[in-house]
Every structure is written in structure tokens, then in C-alpha cells.
Structure 1
Amino acid sequence: MSAAAAPLIHTPLHGLHVELGARMVPFAGYSMPVQYPAGLIAEHRHTRTASGLFDISHMGQLRVSGPEAAAALETLMPVDVIGLAPGKQRYGLLLDDDGGILDDLMFFNEGGDSFFVIVNGACKAADIAHIQARIGQRCTVQPLPDHALLALQGPQAAAVMARLAPGSERHVFMTGGTMAIGGIPVFATRSGYTGEDGFEISVAAADAERLARLLLAQPEVAPIGLGARNSLRLEAGLCLYGNDIDTTTTPVEAALTWAIQKVRRTGGARAGGFPGAGKVLAQLDGTAPVARRRVGLVALERVPVREHTALHVPGGGAVGEVTSGLLAPTVDRPIAMGYVDTAHAAVGTRIDALVRGKPVPMEVVPMPFVPARYYRG
């Protein structure tokens, strides 16, 4: 580390990670656990079969409140904020004035003109400044740096929560509220970024270690690091900000048009009105070209294909690049996401990845690579 480099920030669970034997790495300015002694593959499989506990306290938490909060948030994102009922959560995209993605986020309607927002760790300072600058005159933007964030994920997560927080099982995917886990007050939503059922839990930093130890004491639960979080989200076909989406990608190019509700697309008083709306809506309705698309890829040979690997037409020129890729533990084959020219984005298209100068045949496939198991009731 250079003398000018800022020291890494520790989450409230740093001491616990070290105690558990985690290998700590720099991530988004934080010292974070990439894996524990069991290893990435074991952690990944444990989350898919039982329940894994993730420290995601590096992510940004904030509250946007006031009578104009919903309408103000709609001016930043191409999503339906006003129509989101209290007690429900939605995925959103912060866009710049060219329609590029500044960040992806989750927002929850707490009721009483108040929204709880979670943004990515590497973007949180810029996000909060952007939100404050754009809508701070219309509503209150309150960062919550004194809160930790944990994710309990996997098919047995709900049973653990029902045992420690009776009543939590009534929540379905993308709903939540305040509750107590073993007597510890928290705010939890039934959501996550692994493709599995589970909960994301916001807790006061002072209570975070006590909550984590309580959850880890349950027989179904094991600690999981960033390595397995990455492999799980890729199998689920979910984007990693900075890899798969950024300011050079629009929601249409990124295949995230499902996140743009009809009320923001066409006709009516609330269509458009977000940054980059002209470009994004023109790409949506086909009046503007979409040069490339995010696609899922499976290697036809057992060769992992990593990010930044060039993609070519077999025997021909470049058509794109891989943005995320690895040997997927659940499907036991190399998978990837990347951007390719629209002409080569159809499912079934054969593309070569150039790995150390040698072509590895790949095929465009639907995503997710592993079916989601969200609990919808």
C-alpha cells in the first residue's frame, strides 16, 4: 500500500472474520473475507443446500424521506417508485444523463413517505452525493453509516429465521419490515443476491457481532465469503456493478428492461422523466439502435473463461468481451456473462473466447444458469 493510499475500513464483523480464519482481501475500500477455511466451493454448495451468512456491511444504506420522496426518486430512476406499496421492495437503476448505469440498488417503501435504500459499496459515496445533489432540496437524504448489513441465504434460511424471529416466515420475496431476531431489533427483507431464498438484515453496528454469532450458532448456518457470493450471483445471472454494468451500459444493452415498469415506458404522465430517458426509451421502442447486448455463455470445453476475455466469431473478428466468468460449482461447467454485438446475441449462437490465444468454443444460452428459488408464497 502506498503512503497516500487510504487504510482499509473494517466492518463491525472484522474481528469475527479473523477469529473464524477468513482470508481477508481489499474490496470497495474495505477489508473483506473472500473465503473461510472450508473454501469457496464448499461455501457455495453449503449456501445452495443449507444456509450461508454473508457480511455485506460494505454496502451503503440510506433513508430518503418526506412528502415528495417517491416522486423525487422517480426523477433519478426508470422505475415505478410511486406505485410501490408500503412493505414492499423493488430493484432500481440510477442513471446518468446519457442513460448509463451509475449503480443498481434496492429500495423499500417503509410507509409514511420514507424509503430505505441499499446501494453498492464501491459506489456509495458517489451515489449519496448524486442523490443529495439531484433531490436533496425536495426530501431528506440520510446516510446510515452506523448500521451493518448481513445476508442469510439458502433453502434453510427461512427455517432459521422462523426459529429466531417467529412471524418472519410470513414475508414473501421482496417484502419485509422491522422485527427482532433473538431479541435483537433489525430491519429485514426477504431478498438477496444468490438466486436462493433468504433475508437481508440491517442491524445497528453495535449489535452486528452478537447477531452474527447467534445466526452462526444455528446448525444450518455457515459463514460465506465474497468468493462464493460472486459464484452464486453469476449462476443466478445477476450483474456485478463495475463488471457487468457501469456508465458505459444502458439498461437495454444490459438486458435489464424487466426493471423498467410499463408506467415509466409509454404514454401517461409518468413515462420518461428520468436521466437519459430519450436514449433509453428510443432503444426500448426500437427507434434507436442497440449495438450490443448482455448475454449468458456456456463453454463447450472445460476451460474457465474469465472477465476481459475477447469474444470472436469462430474463425473471424471480435464481437464482444466477457465481463464475468468462472467454473460454476452447481452446474459444474464454465459459465460467463458478457456483451456481444446484437447480431450475435441470439440463444444458440456459437462464439469463440480467446483464452491465452486459443479459441474456446462457447454458446449463447438463456439466464439464469441455475433456476432461482425465491419464495413467492
Structure 2
Amino acid sequence: MSAAPPSTAELRHTPLHALHLELGARMVPFAGYHMPVQYPAGLMAEHHHTRQAAGLFDVSHMGQLLVRGPGAGAALESLMPVDVIDLPAGKQRYGLLLTDEGTIIDDLMFINRGTDYFVVVNGACKDGDIAHLQARIGTRCEIVPLPDRALLALQGPQAADALARLVPGVLALVFMTGGGFDWQGIGLFITRSGYTGEDGFEISVPAAHAETLARTLLVQPEVQPVGLGARNSLRLEAGLCLYGNDIDTSTTPVEAGLNWAIQKVRRAGGARAGGFPGADRVLGQLQGTVPVQRKRVGLVALERVPVREHTELQDESGRRVGEVTSGLLAPSLDKPVAMAYVETAHAAAGTRLRALVRGKPVPVEVSPMPFVANRYWRGPAA
């Protein structure tokens, strides 16, 4: 028997909670918080506005922390199959915390700030992540949670114009870089990154000043508030995983198609190969010596029928070959898209499968991702 969902009184509030209510948001439980799923304009309008202009997201439920000390880089690298030590100051990277079996505890973003590593983890995982870091590397470096900071995401092709009016220096940033900035005497830490496939920024701000900053951003003509609903549709169109749906402790990075996140130096033959939890399994899967039974793929439905998470996938004979992990009608494409895990033999682009939706088989086709081209700002030369 499942536990009863938490009451509103049991849910935590972000520093922008009162502002969400003032703006007419529909609030829902998410990662232990009372969060806005959409505002009066609605999910579709919010999605399109982010693709066309700039959307402001409250992502303060995410965990922010510092890893610092003389051995911080080597310590953090010992928990992930990514290159931490050689990451230059000011550069950001995607990382994966792994179990001893090589499966994914959480995915995260981290940036080398020169004096420490600033890390952002998923909201539902943050308490467990911090405990994991403390237990595994707490004697080698200092783990400092930052519960007194909020996190805002400003995303979309006009995000840079809007934010630069407040903080002109952000125009010097390119995708996956960041730095400290001053706004009206308030210290901000800003990275040029996000979870939508669009250009944009994530802004760490002291919680006491988060509402003032959010209100100032919302005054900008390009900016409108956007909730969790559109955040989900945007990230799915961009082919980005949602922890708990598309990756979890049952999936390895290779099964999840995240090979690109494992730099050459950490692979077999690299100068610092292995040395992370589950390395034998992960490196074996990369080399082909350990079989990969299933893979994460993109799907496009060939009929206008949304294919949701947990939908069974079958081959043409009706045999179960996989399951959908995320799916919806993509607003930018006006057709159903999904992510799924399927048996490796059925993972090639163009493979036709059947999704069993309310007992009816719906034809789907394995498709490359992202479904909508990413538009990250990598600089004028790019």
C-alpha cells in the first residue's frame, strides 16, 4: 500500500512561494516542495514563450553545495566517471554520481570556481547526495550545503538581452561557463546553462533577495513566468533526462546513452581511467566486453496519440521489448514524442515498434534526439 501524498502543510516552500501565488500559479507537490506547475497563460503558452523569448523558472528546490579544500577535485572525481581535475576555472561540466554497481545515483552540474567546486543536484535527491558525498569523501574535502540560496533559471533566445540589462557582464559568458557577479550590491553566481535546450542562465542568489530579483526580471518585456509543466516539455524536446524517469539506480550511463559525459581520460587507456564506483561494469560496457541489454532511445509516434511513461513497447510480433520513461505531445512539433528503454537489438534509428496505449497498439519509430535542435550560445565563432 502506497503512502499518502504529503499535505500542503508538510511541503517545503521556496523563497518565491508567495510570488507564485500572487501570479496565479497552480501549485503541486514536487520533490518535497509546493511548486508551480503552470501559470494562468497555461503550459503551451509558457512553452512557446520560452522557445521564442525568455521564461523565468523557479528551481530553488534544487540542491546547491560547495566541495572545497586542497583535494576537492580529486575527491569529487573519485565518485564520478568524468574529468574533474582538468576542468579549467570558470568551466562547467555535467556529472554522474554512481553506485558501486555503476548505476546512477543522480546527475548533476558542477563548475570549477578556482577556490572550490559549485555543485547543483536534483531536488528530490539532494539530501541523499549530500549524505553520499559526506560518507565517501567527507574526510578528504569539505562538503558545504547552501540552503540559504535560491536558484532561478532564465531560458530562451532573448534571455541574454533581459539579464544583461541587470548584469551587463553576463554577455561575456558562453555555454557551460560561469562566474560571480554583482547586482545592486548583491552577490550572484551565474552559469550560462539550463534544462530547455535554449540559450539561458541559472542564477544562484541569496534567498532573502530572490523575490526582488525575480520581480525585476519579470518587469523585462521579454520575460514571463514558466512552471514545471513547460519545463518538462522543453527538456523532453531537448532530449534531456529527468532523474527518476529516464535515469535512476537501475540504469548505467552507457544504457542511458550518456557516453559523451565520460571523457577520454577516464576511459580504458586514459591517464586516469577507472577509479570510480562501478568502473569495471561501465568501462566494460563502453568497450563491449560487458553486454548492454537495453538502451535509451527517442520515439516519435506515427499517430497523434501521446505515449506516456510506463507504456509497454512491443515488436511487430507483440513481444514486449521495452517501456516508455517520458512522453507527451511536443508543443514545438505538434506531435507525440517520448523517451524509452528498449532491447539493444531494437534501438537503431528508424526501427518501428508498437506502444500499447489503453490496450491499443500505436505505431512508433525510434528517432534521434534532440527532437528540437539545441540553441546553446557557444560564442560568435560557433
What TM-score does the superposition give when structure 2 sets the normalisation length?
A: 0.97
Q: 1:106 and 2:119 equivalent?
A: no
Aligned to 2:351: 349
The 2-side partners of 1:343 and 1:3 are apart by 39
The 1-side partners of 2:230 and 2:124 are apart by 19
Alignment counterpart, residue 207 of structure 1, candidates 206, 209, 230: 209
Q: State the Cα distance separating 1:36 from its structure 2 match.
A: 0.1
Number of aligned residues: 376
Runs of 4+ in 1 over 4 A off after TM superposition: 1-6
Q: 1:313 to 1:77 in 2, by over 3 A?
A: same
Aligned to 2:249: 247
Q: State the Cα distance separating 1:267 from its structure 2 match.
A: 1.9
The correspondence of residues 283-302 of structure 1 with structure 2, limited to 5 A, is 283-302=285-304
The 2-side partners of 1:181 and 1:154 are apart by 21
The superposition leaves residues 289-346 of structure 1 with CA deviations (integer Å, 9 ceiling, x where unpaired) of 0000000000000000000000000232000000000000001100000000000000
Alignment counterpart, residue 127 of structure 1, candidates 103, 126, 129: 129
Q: Secondary structure at the match of 1:54?
A: strand
Q: Secondary structure at the match of 2:326?
A: strand
Aligned to 1:53: 56
The 1-side partners of 2:161 and 2:203 are apart by 15
Letter paired with 1:11: T
The 2-side partners of 1:279 and 1:14 are apart by 43
The 1-side partners of 2:258 and 2:303 are apart by 29
Any conservation in 1 of the 2:149–2:205 contact (CA below 8 Å)?
A: yes
The 1-side partners of 2:13 and 2:367 are apart by 39
Any conservation in 2 of the 1:65–1:115 contact (CA below 8 Å)?
A: yes
The correspondence of residues 142-291 of structure 1 with structure 2, limited to 5 A, is 142-181=144-183, 183-291=185-293
Any conservation in 2 of the 1:298–1:364 contact (CA below 8 Å)?
A: yes
Q: Secondary structure at the match of 1:193?
A: coil
Q: Secondary structure at the match of 1:10?
A: coil
The superposition leaves residues 54-111 of structure 1 with CA deviations (integer Å, 9 ceiling, x where unpaired) of 0000000000000100000011000000010000100000000000100000001010
Letter paired with 1:296: G
Q: Secondary structure at the match of 2:281?
A: helix
Aligned to 2:143: 141
Q: 1:117 and 2:119 equivalent?
A: yes
The correspondence of residues 300-339 of structure 1 with structure 2, limited to 5 A, is 300-339=302-341
Aligned to 1:38: 41
The 2-side partners of 1:297 and 1:268 are apart by 34
The 2-side partners of 1:4 and 1:58 are apart by 16
The 2-side partners of 1:19 and 1:200 are apart by 23
The 2-side partners of 1:19 and 1:374 are apart by 32
Q: Secondary structure at the match of 1:145?
A: coil
The 1-side partners of 2:109 and 2:6 are apart by 33
The superposition leaves residues 21-74 of structure 1 with CA deviations (integer Å, 9 ceiling, x where unpaired) of 000000000000000000000000000000000000000000000010000001
The superposition leaves residues 228-262 of structure 1 with CA deviations (integer Å, 9 ceiling, x where unpaired) of 00000000000000000000000000000000000
The 1-side partners of 2:224 and 2:206 are apart by 22
Letter paired with 2:313: L
Q: State the Cα distance separating 1:183 from its structure 2 match.
A: 4.8
Letter paired with 2:292: V
Any conservation in 2 of the 1:184–1:211 contact (CA below 8 Å)?
A: no
Aligned to 1:17: 20
The superposition leaves residues 123-168 of structure 1 with CA deviations (integer Å, 9 ceiling, x where unpaired) of 0000000001000000000000000000000000011122111121
Q: State the Cα distance separating 1:180 from its structure 2 match.
A: 2.4
User: Which structure 1 residue ranges, 5 or more long, are not aligned?
Assistant: none
Letter paired with 1:10: H
The 2-side partners of 1:166 and 1:236 are apart by 28
What TM-score does the superposition give when structure 1 sets the normalisation length?
A: 0.98
The 2-side partners of 1:102 and 1:367 are apart by 23
User: Which structure 2 residue ranges, 5 or more long, are not aligned?
Assistant: none
Q: State the Cα distance separating 1:4 from its structure 2 match.
A: 8.4
The 1-side partners of 2:184 and 2:317 are apart by 60
Any conservation in 1 of the 2:264–2:270 contact (CA below 8 Å)?
A: no
The superposition leaves residues 168-214 of structure 1 with CA deviations (integer Å, 9 ceiling, x where unpaired) of 11100000101124553210000000000000000000000000000
Any conservation in 2 of the 1:52–1:223 contact (CA below 8 Å)?
A: yes
Q: 1:288 to 1:111 in 2, by over 3 A?
A: same
The 1-side partners of 2:256 and 2:318 are apart by 24
Q: Secondary structure at the match of 2:152?
A: strand
Any conservation in 2 of the 1:165–1:182 contact (CA below 8 Å)?
A: no
